[in-house]
Structure 1
Amino acid sequence: MRIAIEDLDVALSGRTVVSGVGLVAEDGEIAGLVGPNGSGKSTVLRTVYRHLRPHAGRVLLGGADIRSLTAVQSARQVAALPQERGSDFELSVREIVAMGRTPYKRAFAGEDRTDTERVTAALAQVGMAGAGRRRFSALSGGERQRVLLARALAQDPKVLVLDEPTNHLDVRHQVELLTLLRAQRRTTLLALHDLNAAASVCDRLHVLHDGSVVASGTPREVLTPELLAEVFGVRAAVVEHPLTGDPLIAFDHRAPAGV
Protein backbone atom coordinates (compact mmCIF):
# COMPACT_ATOMS: atom_id res chain seq x y z
CA MET A 1 0.00 0.00 0.00
CA ARG A 2 1.36 3.40 -0.98
CA ILE A 3 1.93 6.17 1.59
CA ALA A 4 2.11 9.79 0.48
CA ILE A 5 2.67 12.72 2.83
CA GLU A 6 1.71 16.07 1.33
CA ASP A 7 2.72 19.56 2.58
CA LEU A 8 2.81 18.46 6.21
CA ASP A 9 3.07 21.09 8.93
CA VAL A 10 3.15 20.17 12.62
CA ALA A 11 3.34 22.58 15.55
CA LEU A 12 4.04 21.53 19.13
CA SER A 13 3.50 23.96 22.02
CA GLY A 14 3.13 26.77 19.53
CA ARG A 15 6.41 26.02 17.76
CA THR A 16 6.54 24.70 14.20
CA VAL A 17 8.66 21.54 14.18
CA VAL A 18 7.79 20.20 10.72
CA SER A 19 7.10 22.45 7.74
CA GLY A 20 6.04 21.62 4.19
CA VAL A 21 7.16 17.98 4.37
CA GLY A 22 6.35 15.86 1.36
CA LEU A 23 7.53 12.29 0.92
CA VAL A 24 6.39 8.93 -0.38
CA ALA A 25 6.77 5.21 0.24
CA GLU A 26 5.58 3.17 -2.71
CA ASP A 27 3.76 -0.14 -2.35
CA GLY A 28 6.16 -2.72 -0.92
CA GLU A 29 8.97 -0.20 -0.57
CA ILE A 30 11.12 0.52 2.47
CA ALA A 31 11.49 4.29 2.82
CA GLY A 32 13.86 5.67 5.42
CA LEU A 33 13.81 8.98 7.24
CA VAL A 34 17.29 10.14 8.24
CA GLY A 35 18.55 13.37 9.71
CA PRO A 36 20.15 14.88 12.81
CA ASN A 37 18.46 14.82 16.20
CA GLY A 38 15.54 17.23 16.26
CA SER A 39 15.10 17.25 12.50
CA GLY A 40 11.48 16.07 12.68
CA LYS A 41 11.71 12.36 11.85
CA SER A 42 9.68 11.09 14.80
CA THR A 43 7.14 13.88 14.42
CA VAL A 44 6.47 12.89 10.81
CA LEU A 45 6.06 9.24 11.79
CA ARG A 46 3.63 10.13 14.58
CA THR A 47 1.30 11.73 12.05
CA VAL A 48 1.29 8.49 10.03
CA TYR A 49 0.16 6.34 12.96
CA ARG A 50 -2.19 9.13 14.12
CA HIS A 51 -0.51 9.98 17.40
CA LEU A 52 -0.30 13.59 16.19
CA ARG A 53 -2.73 15.63 14.13
CA PRO A 54 -0.96 17.88 11.60
CA HIS A 55 -1.60 21.63 11.59
CA ALA A 56 -1.72 21.47 7.78
CA GLY A 57 -1.21 18.93 5.02
CA ARG A 58 -2.30 15.32 4.98
CA VAL A 59 -1.19 11.69 5.04
CA LEU A 60 -2.60 9.54 2.25
CA LEU A 61 -2.86 5.80 2.72
CA GLY A 62 -3.63 4.08 -0.57
CA GLY A 63 -4.98 7.41 -1.81
CA ALA A 64 -7.31 7.99 1.18
CA ASP A 65 -6.69 10.60 3.86
CA ILE A 66 -5.77 8.59 6.94
CA ARG A 67 -7.87 10.95 9.06
CA SER A 68 -10.97 9.85 7.14
CA LEU A 69 -10.56 6.29 8.48
CA THR A 70 -11.93 5.05 11.77
CA ALA A 71 -9.47 4.04 14.47
CA VAL A 72 -10.14 0.35 13.75
CA GLN A 73 -9.77 0.79 9.99
CA SER A 74 -6.49 2.62 10.50
CA ALA A 75 -5.19 -0.01 12.95
CA ARG A 76 -5.88 -2.76 10.43
CA GLN A 77 -3.76 -0.93 7.87
CA VAL A 78 -0.91 0.59 9.89
CA ALA A 79 1.14 -0.90 12.74
CA ALA A 80 3.70 1.18 14.59
CA LEU A 81 6.77 0.61 16.71
CA PRO A 82 7.32 4.04 18.30
CA GLN A 83 10.26 5.19 20.39
CA GLU A 84 8.06 5.56 23.46
CA ARG A 85 7.73 1.96 24.62
CA GLY A 86 6.28 0.66 27.86
CA SER A 87 8.71 -1.17 30.11
CA ASP A 88 6.50 -2.07 33.06
CA PHE A 89 3.90 -4.31 31.42
CA GLU A 90 3.06 -7.09 33.88
CA LEU A 91 1.98 -9.32 31.04
CA SER A 92 3.54 -12.32 29.38
CA VAL A 93 5.35 -12.01 26.07
CA ARG A 94 2.56 -13.88 24.31
CA GLU A 95 -0.08 -11.58 25.82
CA ILE A 96 1.83 -8.54 24.59
CA VAL A 97 2.08 -9.89 21.05
CA ALA A 98 -1.58 -10.95 21.08
CA MET A 99 -2.49 -7.27 21.62
CA GLY A 100 -1.65 -6.83 17.96
CA ARG A 101 -4.81 -8.78 17.13
CA THR A 102 -7.09 -6.26 18.91
CA PRO A 103 -8.24 -4.46 15.73
CA TYR A 104 -9.75 -7.72 14.48
CA LYS A 105 -11.61 -8.63 17.68
CA ARG A 106 -15.04 -7.81 19.02
CA ALA A 107 -15.29 -6.79 22.64
CA PHE A 108 -14.53 -9.68 25.02
CA ALA A 109 -13.92 -12.08 22.11
CA GLY A 110 -11.38 -14.79 22.79
CA GLU A 111 -8.38 -15.83 20.71
CA ASP A 112 -9.31 -17.83 17.62
CA ARG A 113 -7.20 -20.04 15.37
CA THR A 114 -6.13 -17.16 13.12
CA ASP A 115 -5.00 -15.13 16.15
CA THR A 116 -3.00 -18.06 17.49
CA GLU A 117 -1.30 -18.63 14.14
CA ARG A 118 -0.45 -14.95 13.68
CA VAL A 119 0.98 -14.59 17.19
CA THR A 120 3.03 -17.80 16.94
CA ALA A 121 4.42 -16.81 13.53
CA ALA A 122 5.30 -13.28 14.68
CA LEU A 123 7.24 -14.56 17.69
CA ALA A 124 9.14 -16.98 15.47
CA GLN A 125 9.98 -14.22 12.99
CA VAL A 126 11.71 -12.14 15.64
CA GLY A 127 13.52 -15.08 17.24
CA MET A 128 11.38 -15.21 20.39
CA ALA A 129 9.46 -18.42 19.70
CA GLY A 130 10.32 -19.98 23.05
CA ALA A 131 9.67 -16.89 25.15
CA GLY A 132 5.88 -16.73 25.13
CA ARG A 133 5.46 -17.39 28.87
CA ARG A 134 8.17 -15.01 30.05
CA ARG A 135 7.17 -11.74 31.70
CA PHE A 136 7.64 -8.76 29.44
CA SER A 137 8.94 -6.67 32.34
CA ALA A 138 11.76 -9.20 32.91
CA LEU A 139 13.17 -8.93 29.39
CA SER A 140 16.26 -7.04 28.32
CA GLY A 141 15.88 -3.90 26.22
CA GLY A 142 16.72 -5.76 23.04
CA GLU A 143 14.28 -8.57 23.82
CA ARG A 144 11.50 -6.06 24.50
CA GLN A 145 12.24 -4.42 21.19
CA ARG A 146 11.83 -7.71 19.36
CA VAL A 147 8.60 -8.55 21.20
CA LEU A 148 7.08 -5.17 20.33
CA LEU A 149 8.05 -5.71 16.71
CA ALA A 150 6.32 -9.10 16.89
CA ARG A 151 3.21 -7.33 18.17
CA ALA A 152 3.28 -5.05 15.13
CA LEU A 153 3.73 -8.02 12.79
CA ALA A 154 0.87 -9.93 14.47
CA GLN A 155 -1.33 -6.97 13.59
CA ASP A 156 -0.88 -8.12 9.97
CA PRO A 157 -0.73 -4.55 8.64
CA LYS A 158 -0.21 -3.37 5.11
CA VAL A 159 2.12 -0.65 6.41
CA LEU A 160 4.81 -0.73 9.10
CA VAL A 161 5.96 2.49 10.79
CA LEU A 162 9.14 2.00 12.81
CA ASP A 163 10.96 4.65 14.84
CA GLU A 164 14.56 3.61 15.49
CA PRO A 165 13.78 -0.14 15.42
CA THR A 166 17.42 -1.18 15.90
CA ASN A 167 17.78 0.63 19.24
CA HIS A 168 18.97 -1.70 22.04
CA LEU A 169 19.73 -4.52 19.60
CA ASP A 170 23.14 -6.14 19.37
CA VAL A 171 24.79 -6.46 15.96
CA ARG A 172 23.42 -9.91 15.19
CA HIS A 173 19.83 -8.93 15.98
CA GLN A 174 20.18 -5.66 14.08
CA VAL A 175 21.18 -7.64 10.98
CA GLU A 176 18.37 -10.15 11.55
CA LEU A 177 15.78 -7.39 11.94
CA LEU A 178 16.88 -5.58 8.79
CA THR A 179 16.90 -8.87 6.89
CA LEU A 180 13.38 -9.54 8.14
CA LEU A 181 12.19 -6.15 6.95
CA ARG A 182 13.66 -6.75 3.50
CA ALA A 183 12.02 -10.17 3.29
CA GLN A 184 8.61 -8.79 4.26
CA ARG A 185 8.29 -6.60 1.17
CA ARG A 186 5.65 -4.71 3.10
CA THR A 187 5.40 -0.95 2.74
CA THR A 188 7.61 0.35 5.53
CA LEU A 189 8.42 3.83 6.76
CA LEU A 190 11.21 3.96 9.32
CA ALA A 191 13.51 6.42 11.01
CA LEU A 192 17.13 5.38 11.50
CA HIS A 193 20.19 7.06 12.98
CA ASP A 194 22.55 4.45 11.53
CA LEU A 195 23.17 5.71 8.00
CA ASN A 196 24.93 2.52 6.90
CA ALA A 197 21.94 0.47 8.05
CA ALA A 198 19.67 2.87 6.18
CA ALA A 199 21.78 2.51 3.03
CA SER A 200 21.56 -1.27 3.32
CA VAL A 201 17.84 -1.76 3.99
CA CYS A 202 16.07 1.21 2.37
CA ASP A 203 14.90 1.49 -1.22
CA ARG A 204 14.43 5.24 -0.80
CA LEU A 205 15.73 7.82 1.67
CA HIS A 206 14.26 11.15 2.73
CA VAL A 207 16.70 13.45 4.52
CA LEU A 208 15.19 15.86 7.05
CA HIS A 209 16.91 18.94 8.39
CA ASP A 210 15.33 21.60 10.60
CA GLY A 211 11.88 20.17 9.99
CA SER A 212 12.01 20.04 6.20
CA VAL A 213 12.95 17.46 3.57
CA VAL A 214 16.21 18.55 1.95
CA ALA A 215 16.90 15.49 -0.22
CA SER A 216 15.07 12.39 -1.48
CA GLY A 217 16.18 9.50 -3.64
CA THR A 218 17.97 6.19 -3.53
CA PRO A 219 20.68 5.80 -0.85
CA ARG A 220 23.34 6.09 -3.53
CA GLU A 221 21.84 9.33 -4.83
CA VAL A 222 21.31 10.88 -1.42
CA LEU A 223 24.27 9.86 0.73
CA THR A 224 27.02 12.00 -0.73
CA PRO A 225 30.01 13.48 1.10
CA GLU A 226 28.60 16.95 0.41
CA LEU A 227 25.22 16.19 2.00
CA LEU A 228 26.82 14.44 4.97
CA ALA A 229 28.95 17.52 5.61
CA GLU A 230 26.11 20.00 5.16
CA VAL A 231 23.34 18.18 7.06
CA PHE A 232 25.18 16.02 9.59
CA GLY A 233 28.33 18.10 10.03
CA VAL A 234 30.75 15.23 9.44
CA ARG A 235 33.56 14.45 7.05
CA ALA A 236 33.02 11.15 5.26
CA ALA A 237 33.87 9.14 2.19
CA VAL A 238 31.21 7.01 0.48
CA VAL A 239 32.56 3.77 -0.95
CA GLU A 240 31.14 0.45 -2.11
CA HIS A 241 30.49 -2.16 0.54
CA PRO A 242 32.84 -5.09 -0.24
CA LEU A 243 30.19 -7.73 0.60
CA THR A 244 26.88 -6.23 -0.57
CA GLY A 245 27.74 -3.48 -3.04
CA ASP A 246 25.64 -0.99 -1.04
CA PRO A 247 26.97 2.49 -0.30
CA LEU A 248 29.23 2.36 2.74
CA ILE A 249 29.97 5.54 4.67
CA ALA A 250 33.43 5.81 6.21
CA PHE A 251 33.38 8.62 8.76
CA ASP A 252 36.40 10.69 9.74
CA HIS A 253 36.24 10.35 13.52
CA ARG A 254 39.24 12.63 14.01
CA ALA A 255 37.72 15.86 12.74
CA PRO A 256 34.29 17.40 12.08
CA ALA A 257 33.29 18.59 8.61
CA GLY A 258 34.38 22.17 9.25
CA VAL A 259 38.00 21.25 9.96
Structure 2
Amino acid sequence: MRIDIEDLHVAYAGRTVVAGAQLIAAEGEITGLVGPNGSGKSTLLRTVYRHLKPAAGRVLLSGTDLRRLTPAETARHVAALPQERGGDFELTVREVVAIGRTPYKRAFAGEDTTDRDVVARALADVGMEHHTGRRFTELSGGERQRVLLARAFAQQPDVLVLDEPTNHLDIRHQVELLALLRAGRRTTLVSLHDLNAAASVCDRLHVLHDGRVVASGPPREVLQPALLAEVFGVRATVVDHPLTGDPLIAFDHRAPADASDGHNNGDVPVSAPSGVSGAGPGRSHR
Protein backbone atom coordinates (compact mmCIF):
# COMPACT_ATOMS: atom_id res chain seq x y z
CA MET A 1 0.00 0.00 0.00
CA ARG A 2 1.04 3.59 -0.53
CA ILE A 3 0.31 6.88 1.20
CA ASP A 4 -0.66 9.98 -0.76
CA ILE A 5 -0.85 13.30 1.05
CA GLU A 6 -2.81 15.85 -0.95
CA ASP A 7 -2.73 19.59 -0.22
CA LEU A 8 -2.62 18.98 3.53
CA HIS A 9 -3.21 21.90 5.90
CA VAL A 10 -3.04 21.49 9.68
CA ALA A 11 -3.57 24.30 12.19
CA TYR A 12 -3.24 24.75 15.95
CA ALA A 13 -5.17 27.54 17.68
CA GLY A 14 -5.56 29.40 14.41
CA ARG A 15 -1.88 29.05 13.44
CA THR A 16 -1.06 27.05 10.33
CA VAL A 17 1.59 24.43 11.11
CA VAL A 18 1.48 22.45 7.85
CA ALA A 19 0.58 24.39 4.71
CA GLY A 20 -0.35 22.64 1.48
CA ALA A 21 1.87 19.59 1.93
CA GLN A 22 1.85 17.27 -1.07
CA LEU A 23 3.90 14.08 -0.99
CA ILE A 24 3.92 10.35 -1.61
CA ALA A 25 5.19 7.39 0.38
CA ALA A 26 5.47 4.81 -2.36
CA GLU A 27 4.63 1.15 -1.79
CA GLY A 28 7.51 -0.84 -0.31
CA GLU A 29 9.79 2.19 -0.02
CA ILE A 30 11.18 4.13 2.92
CA THR A 31 10.18 7.77 2.62
CA GLY A 32 11.88 10.26 4.93
CA LEU A 33 10.77 13.60 6.31
CA VAL A 34 13.60 15.92 7.27
CA GLY A 35 13.65 19.53 8.35
CA PRO A 36 14.53 21.79 11.28
CA ASN A 37 12.66 21.70 14.57
CA GLY A 38 9.23 23.25 14.15
CA SER A 39 9.07 22.57 10.42
CA GLY A 40 5.92 20.46 10.72
CA LYS A 41 7.27 16.89 10.49
CA SER A 42 5.57 15.50 13.60
CA THR A 43 2.35 17.36 12.86
CA LEU A 44 2.20 15.87 9.38
CA LEU A 45 2.83 12.37 10.72
CA ARG A 46 0.12 12.78 13.36
CA THR A 47 -2.43 13.37 10.63
CA VAL A 48 -1.32 10.18 8.89
CA TYR A 49 -1.95 8.02 11.98
CA ARG A 50 -5.11 10.03 12.72
CA HIS A 51 -4.06 11.70 15.95
CA LEU A 52 -4.88 15.03 14.29
CA LYS A 53 -7.59 16.03 11.86
CA PRO A 54 -6.45 18.21 8.95
CA ALA A 55 -8.04 21.59 8.36
CA ALA A 56 -7.95 20.82 4.63
CA GLY A 57 -6.54 18.22 2.29
CA ARG A 58 -6.51 14.44 2.49
CA VAL A 59 -4.40 11.47 3.47
CA LEU A 60 -5.06 8.55 1.15
CA LEU A 61 -4.20 4.90 1.75
CA SER A 62 -3.94 3.34 -1.71
CA GLY A 63 -6.61 5.75 -2.91
CA THR A 64 -8.95 5.53 0.10
CA ASP A 65 -9.34 8.52 2.41
CA LEU A 66 -8.16 7.33 5.82
CA ARG A 67 -11.00 9.26 7.45
CA ARG A 68 -13.46 6.89 5.82
CA LEU A 69 -11.96 3.89 7.64
CA THR A 70 -12.85 2.86 11.17
CA PRO A 71 -10.09 3.13 13.79
CA ALA A 72 -9.76 -0.67 13.82
CA GLU A 73 -9.47 -0.79 10.02
CA THR A 74 -6.86 1.95 10.12
CA ALA A 75 -4.90 0.08 12.81
CA ARG A 76 -4.80 -3.07 10.70
CA HIS A 77 -3.13 -1.11 7.91
CA VAL A 78 -1.14 1.66 9.64
CA ALA A 79 1.04 1.34 12.75
CA ALA A 80 2.68 4.34 14.38
CA LEU A 81 5.62 4.99 16.67
CA PRO A 82 5.04 8.58 17.82
CA GLN A 83 7.45 10.77 19.73
CA GLU A 84 5.01 11.17 22.60
CA ARG A 85 5.01 7.92 24.53
CA GLY A 86 1.99 8.46 26.82
CA GLY A 87 2.02 7.32 30.43
CA ASP A 88 4.07 4.49 31.84
CA PHE A 89 2.62 1.05 31.34
CA GLU A 90 2.21 -1.12 34.44
CA LEU A 91 2.61 -4.09 32.12
CA THR A 92 5.33 -6.52 31.19
CA VAL A 93 7.29 -6.14 27.97
CA ARG A 94 5.37 -8.98 26.38
CA GLU A 95 2.02 -7.54 27.43
CA VAL A 96 2.87 -4.18 25.85
CA VAL A 97 3.83 -5.80 22.55
CA ALA A 98 0.71 -7.98 22.60
CA ILE A 99 -1.40 -4.79 22.53
CA GLY A 100 -0.41 -4.62 18.86
CA ARG A 101 -2.69 -7.59 18.19
CA THR A 102 -5.80 -5.70 19.43
CA PRO A 103 -7.04 -4.65 15.93
CA TYR A 104 -7.39 -8.34 15.03
CA LYS A 105 -9.24 -9.47 18.15
CA ARG A 106 -12.89 -9.52 19.11
CA ALA A 107 -13.81 -8.11 22.50
CA PHE A 108 -12.56 -10.32 25.34
CA ALA A 109 -10.99 -12.79 22.90
CA GLY A 110 -7.83 -14.46 24.14
CA GLU A 111 -4.54 -15.02 22.36
CA ASP A 112 -4.22 -17.72 19.77
CA THR A 113 -1.18 -19.39 18.25
CA THR A 114 -0.87 -16.73 15.54
CA ASP A 115 -0.85 -13.94 18.13
CA ARG A 116 1.84 -15.66 20.17
CA ASP A 117 4.01 -16.28 17.12
CA VAL A 118 3.67 -12.70 15.87
CA VAL A 119 4.51 -11.22 19.28
CA ALA A 120 7.53 -13.51 19.67
CA ARG A 121 8.83 -12.54 16.23
CA ALA A 122 8.32 -8.81 16.90
CA LEU A 123 10.27 -9.05 20.16
CA ALA A 124 13.07 -10.96 18.44
CA ASP A 125 13.24 -8.40 15.65
CA VAL A 126 14.05 -5.62 18.12
CA GLY A 127 16.31 -7.73 20.33
CA MET A 128 13.99 -7.80 23.35
CA GLU A 129 13.04 -11.48 23.32
CA HIS A 130 14.97 -12.11 26.54
CA HIS A 131 13.17 -9.36 28.46
CA THR A 132 9.55 -10.45 28.09
CA GLY A 133 8.82 -10.62 31.83
CA ARG A 134 10.33 -7.26 32.77
CA ARG A 135 8.07 -4.36 33.64
CA PHE A 136 7.91 -1.66 31.00
CA THR A 137 8.42 0.95 33.75
CA GLU A 138 11.79 -0.61 34.61
CA LEU A 139 13.25 -0.20 31.12
CA SER A 140 15.70 2.41 29.89
CA GLY A 141 14.56 4.93 27.30
CA GLY A 142 16.19 2.96 24.49
CA GLU A 143 14.65 -0.31 25.65
CA ARG A 144 11.21 1.28 25.81
CA GLN A 145 11.67 2.57 22.28
CA ARG A 146 12.45 -0.93 21.04
CA VAL A 147 9.44 -2.43 22.83
CA LEU A 148 7.09 0.16 21.35
CA LEU A 149 8.54 -0.52 17.92
CA ALA A 150 7.89 -4.23 18.49
CA ARG A 151 4.28 -3.36 19.35
CA ALA A 152 4.00 -1.59 15.99
CA PHE A 153 5.49 -4.63 14.23
CA ALA A 154 2.97 -6.88 16.02
CA GLN A 155 0.17 -5.02 14.25
CA GLN A 156 1.52 -6.48 10.99
CA PRO A 157 0.76 -3.20 9.22
CA ASP A 158 1.05 -2.40 5.55
CA VAL A 159 2.40 1.05 6.48
CA LEU A 160 4.75 2.11 9.27
CA VAL A 161 4.71 5.73 10.47
CA LEU A 162 7.74 6.45 12.63
CA ASP A 163 8.51 9.77 14.31
CA GLU A 164 12.21 9.95 15.24
CA PRO A 165 12.48 6.19 15.87
CA THR A 166 16.21 6.35 16.67
CA ASN A 167 15.67 8.66 19.66
CA HIS A 168 17.17 7.20 22.86
CA LEU A 169 18.91 4.39 20.99
CA ASP A 170 22.66 3.83 21.24
CA ILE A 171 24.61 3.67 17.99
CA ARG A 172 24.46 -0.13 17.67
CA HIS A 173 20.69 -0.23 18.07
CA GLN A 174 20.29 2.72 15.70
CA VAL A 175 22.18 0.77 13.02
CA GLU A 176 20.19 -2.40 13.74
CA LEU A 177 16.88 -0.52 13.57
CA LEU A 178 17.71 1.09 10.24
CA ALA A 179 18.84 -2.26 8.85
CA LEU A 180 15.57 -3.78 10.05
CA LEU A 181 13.57 -1.10 8.25
CA ARG A 182 15.52 -1.68 5.04
CA ALA A 183 15.00 -5.43 5.22
CA GLY A 184 11.29 -5.19 6.02
CA ARG A 185 10.32 -3.53 2.74
CA ARG A 186 7.12 -2.16 4.23
CA THR A 187 5.83 1.18 3.07
CA THR A 188 7.44 3.43 5.68
CA LEU A 189 7.06 7.14 6.39
CA VAL A 190 9.70 8.23 8.88
CA SER A 191 10.98 11.52 10.28
CA LEU A 192 14.67 11.68 11.12
CA HIS A 193 16.87 14.40 12.56
CA ASP A 194 20.06 12.59 11.54
CA LEU A 195 20.51 13.55 7.90
CA ASN A 196 23.19 10.92 7.34
CA ALA A 197 20.86 8.22 8.64
CA ALA A 198 18.16 9.57 6.34
CA ALA A 199 20.54 9.54 3.38
CA SER A 200 21.46 5.93 4.13
CA VAL A 201 18.06 4.38 4.77
CA CYS A 202 15.55 6.39 2.73
CA ASP A 203 14.62 5.83 -0.90
CA ARG A 204 13.16 9.31 -1.09
CA LEU A 205 13.25 12.44 1.06
CA HIS A 206 10.81 15.29 1.52
CA VAL A 207 12.30 18.42 3.11
CA LEU A 208 9.95 20.51 5.26
CA HIS A 209 10.58 24.15 6.07
CA ASP A 210 8.09 26.39 7.86
CA GLY A 211 5.32 23.88 7.29
CA ARG A 212 5.89 23.46 3.57
CA VAL A 213 7.51 20.76 1.48
CA VAL A 214 10.32 22.64 -0.23
CA ALA A 215 12.21 19.79 -1.91
CA SER A 216 11.56 16.16 -2.76
CA GLY A 217 13.65 13.49 -4.41
CA PRO A 218 16.35 10.86 -3.87
CA PRO A 219 18.69 11.77 -0.99
CA ARG A 220 21.71 12.37 -3.24
CA GLU A 221 19.76 14.96 -5.24
CA VAL A 222 18.05 16.63 -2.30
CA LEU A 223 20.86 16.91 0.25
CA GLN A 224 22.94 19.52 -1.55
CA PRO A 225 25.09 22.15 0.22
CA ALA A 226 22.87 25.05 -0.89
CA LEU A 227 19.74 23.46 0.55
CA LEU A 228 21.53 22.47 3.75
CA ALA A 229 22.62 26.07 4.21
CA GLU A 230 19.25 27.56 3.34
CA VAL A 231 16.98 25.21 5.29
CA PHE A 232 19.19 24.00 8.15
CA GLY A 233 21.55 26.95 8.44
CA VAL A 234 24.73 24.88 8.28
CA ARG A 235 27.85 24.76 6.15
CA ALA A 236 28.38 21.29 4.73
CA THR A 237 29.75 19.32 1.85
CA VAL A 238 28.46 15.99 0.55
CA VAL A 239 30.84 13.13 -0.23
CA ASP A 240 30.55 9.37 -0.78
CA HIS A 241 30.56 7.24 2.34
CA PRO A 242 33.80 5.21 2.23
CA LEU A 243 32.06 1.97 3.35
CA THR A 244 28.62 2.10 1.73
CA GLY A 245 28.83 4.67 -1.08
CA ASP A 246 25.80 6.50 0.37
CA PRO A 247 25.82 10.29 0.46
CA LEU A 248 27.73 11.41 3.55
CA ILE A 249 27.22 14.95 4.83
CA ALA A 250 30.31 16.49 6.40
CA PHE A 251 29.29 19.46 8.54
CA ASP A 252 31.40 22.46 9.46
CA HIS A 253 31.01 22.37 13.24
CA ARG A 254 33.03 25.54 13.70
CA ALA A 255 30.61 27.99 12.14
CA PRO A 256 27.00 28.11 10.88
CA ALA A 257 26.11 29.11 7.35
CA ASP A 258 25.85 32.80 6.58
CA ALA A 259 23.96 34.70 3.91
CA SER A 260 26.62 33.99 1.30
CA ASP A 261 26.02 30.26 1.81
CA GLY A 262 22.37 30.62 0.89
CA HIS A 263 20.85 30.72 4.38
CA ASN A 264 18.01 33.22 4.45
CA ASN A 265 16.58 32.72 7.96
CA GLY A 266 13.21 31.84 6.46
CA ASP A 267 12.52 35.30 5.00
CA VAL A 268 12.53 34.07 1.40
CA PRO A 269 10.76 30.88 0.26
CA VAL A 270 13.13 28.00 -0.30
CA SER A 271 13.19 26.47 -3.78
CA ALA A 272 14.09 22.90 -4.59
CA PRO A 273 17.64 22.49 -5.88
CA SER A 274 18.16 21.93 -9.56
CA GLY A 275 17.07 18.47 -10.66
CA VAL A 276 14.86 17.84 -7.62
CA SER A 277 11.25 17.19 -8.49
CA GLY A 278 8.07 17.33 -6.49
CA ALA A 279 6.37 14.33 -4.95
CA GLY A 280 6.55 11.21 -7.06
CA PRO A 281 7.93 7.71 -7.05
CA GLY A 282 11.25 7.20 -5.29
CA ARG A 283 14.40 5.56 -6.51
CA SER A 284 15.09 1.89 -6.33
CA HIS A 285 16.62 0.90 -3.04
CA ARG A 286 20.32 0.27 -2.98
Measured against aligned partners, the alpha-carbon deviations of 1:46-98 in whole angstroms (never above 9, x if no partner) come to: 00000000000000001100001111110000000000003521100000000
Q: Distance in 2 between matches of 1:80 and 1:109?
A: 24
Paired letter, 2:139: L
Q: Distance in 2 between matches of 1:87 and 1:127?
A: 23
List alignment gaps of at least 5 residues for structure 2.
260-286
Given that 1:87 and 1:137 are in contact with CA atoms closer than 8 Å, whether structure 2 keeps it comes out as no
TM normalised by structure 1 equals 0.99
Identity rate of aligned residues, in percent? 78
The answer to whether the aligner puts 1:159 opposite 2:159 as a matched pair is: yes
Paired letter, 1:256: P
Q: Where has structure 1 moved over 4 Å in runs of 4 or more?
A: none
Match of 1:130 in 2: 130
User: Any residues of structure 2 matched to 1:234-249 within 5 Å, and which?
Assistant: 234-249=234-249
Q: Distance in 2 between matches of 1:230 and 1:87?
A: 38
Q: Distance in 1 between matches of 2:89 and 2:51?
A: 21
Paired letter, 1:38: G
Paired letter, 1:55: A
Match of 2:53 in 1: 53
User: Any residues of structure 2 matched to 1:105-120 within 5 Å, and which?
Assistant: 105-120=105-120
Paired letter, 1:51: H
Match of 1:184 in 2: 184
Paired letter, 2:19: S
Q: Distance in 2 between matches of 1:211 and 1:26?
A: 21
Secondary structure of the corresponding residue to residue 33 of structure 2: strand
Q: Distance in 1 between matches of 2:109 and 2:176?
A: 34
Q: Distance in 1 between matches of 2:87 and 2:252?
A: 36
The answer to whether the aligner puts 1:63 opposite 2:67 as a matched pair is: no
Measured against aligned partners, the alpha-carbon deviations of 1:146-187 in whole angstroms (never above 9, x if no partner) come to: 000000000000000000000000000000000000000000
Q: Distance in 2 between matches of 1:87 and 1:139?
A: 14
Measured against aligned partners, the alpha-carbon deviations of 1:5-51 in whole angstroms (never above 9, x if no partner) come to: 00000011111111000010110010000000000000000000000
Secondary structure of the corresponding residue to residue 215 of structure 2: strand
The number of aligned residues is 259
Given that 1:239 and 1:248 are in contact with CA atoms closer than 8 Å, whether structure 2 keeps it comes out as yes
Measured against aligned partners, the alpha-carbon deviations of 1:85-121 in whole angstroms (never above 9, x if no partner) come to: 0352110000000000000000000011110000000
Q: Distance in 2 between matches of 1:72 and 1:6?
A: 23
Q: Distance in 2 between matches of 1:61 and 1:110?
A: 30
The answer to whether the aligner puts 1:77 opposite 2:73 as a matched pair is: no
List alignment gaps of at least 5 residues for structure 1.
none
Q: Distance in 2 between matches of 1:143 and 1:86?
A: 15
Aligned-residue RMSD, C-alpha:
0.7
TM normalised by structure 2 equals 0.90
Match of 2:89 in 1: 89
Secondary structure of the corresponding residue to residue 103 of structure 1: helix
